[in-house]
Amino acid sequence: MLMVPTFDADPRVKLVAAAAPRAESRDAFERDYGGTGYESVEALCADPSVEAVYIATPHQMHVDHVLAAAKAGKHILVEKPLAISMEDADIMVNAVREAGVHLIVGPSHSFDLPVDIAARRIASGEFGTLRMIQALNYTDFLYRPRRPEELRTEEGGGVLFSQAIHQIDVVRRLAGGMADKIVAMTGAWDPKRPTEGAFTALMTFETGCIANLTYSGYAHFDSDIWMNNVGELGQTKTPDAYGGARRALADLSPEDEARLKTTRTFGSGKTIEAEHNEHFGPVIAMCDRADLRLTPDGIEVFGDTERSFIEAPFGPAPRKTVLDALVGAVREDSSPVQSGEWGRASLEVCHAILTSAASGQTVALRHQCKAQHQEFPR
């Protein structure tokens, strides 16, 4: 819903082929872009005009599609999460390494321009040592249209693999990546949506930084109120939209709900009219010499004696930082922050939250990696 406007607005990329099982999506692609629509990912990857493949398929399909692209020698941008299981994540990381191609995991909100700017400024030491991060988000996620597997945790459903991964990515990016351990609790409170709808966690980093992460997708309080009424994807929100997710699902069968989900797929004609940068709820990073509050338009800096604002200019491509990483990988052989290893490390945290919630114990993290901040071609 935002990647299509991004591709359209950025002259550094050209859409030349697409693969989809739905004929409607293939026909829409060929009509809009004049490229070739394929029925299979393998056929797409065999197209010699394709340099990189964007994989936006359901979570459980990522491993097969990444392997197909890597085998064909294509660079890869795969939607978060990297995979559902850590075993599949290992297979994917090894496959792209052996193929000599880059794997970028996203778009996640760690790509958001305010997060990118804040992470680089924190890493520079400008504000002193980062001590603590608080990240909160309250949304209607659990009541947006879902396919049946999206409500089954073992198949990657619920808020952990689709939403926590964003928050984890943001916090890891700001703190430099090397998380140490985590303790967490989860909530699954609606029998009609039998998967985790909320969690809260305390995560520590090797640097000594502490992070609090809290998320609820139960569609009551909306934390976008704290973000100047800007939605997650940068769209302006109005008060009369409150409760829309629950109302839209009222009295729908699972089959009807799955059909409603297709309105978010390519060819449906539905995109987001973003006016601001994306965000993932209120985030405050506390450093020795300043606290940083991330907003859709930039970063509020609360220093020792003065306040200031670091602007994060919006547009024209909503997700330009994602394409910065992709162009850097393809044209400059530059490894992105959000590599396969990075995606695996964030996935490990998702599993650790579930493990800690079930056991009541703190879980040590063993597959973390550092954030390498690089300059990308403009």
**Six token digits for residue 192:** 């009609």
The pLDDT assigned to 377 comes to 40
Structural tokens at position 328: 């850097």
CATH number of the domain enclosing 85: 3.40.50.720
Rounded-to-integer distance, Cα 122 and Cα 166, Å: 19
**Is-above-0.85 flag for pTM?**
yes
- Among 105, 130, 161, the domain-final residue is 105
Listing DSSP states for 197-259 in one string gives -EEEEEEEETTS-EEEEEEE-SSSS-GGGGGTTB-TTS-B--GGGTTHHHHHHTT--HHHHHH
How many whole angstroms from its chain centre is CA 321? 13
Are 213 and 171 spatial neighbours (Cβ–Cβ below 8 Å)?
A: yes
Average pLDDT along the chain: 94
* Highest mean pLDDT out of 101-105, 238-242, 317-321: 101-105
The tens digit of pLDDT for each residue in 108-154 reads 999 999 999 999 999 999 999 999 999 999 999 999 999 899 999 99
372 part of a folded domain: no
Distance (Å, rounded) from C-alpha 74 to C-alpha 52? 5
What total of structural domains would you count in the chain? 2
Q: Are residues 60 and 116 in the same domain?
A: no
What percent of the chain clears pLDDT 70, i.e. is strictly above it?
96
Which of 56, 75, 105 is the C-terminal boundary of a domain?
A: 105
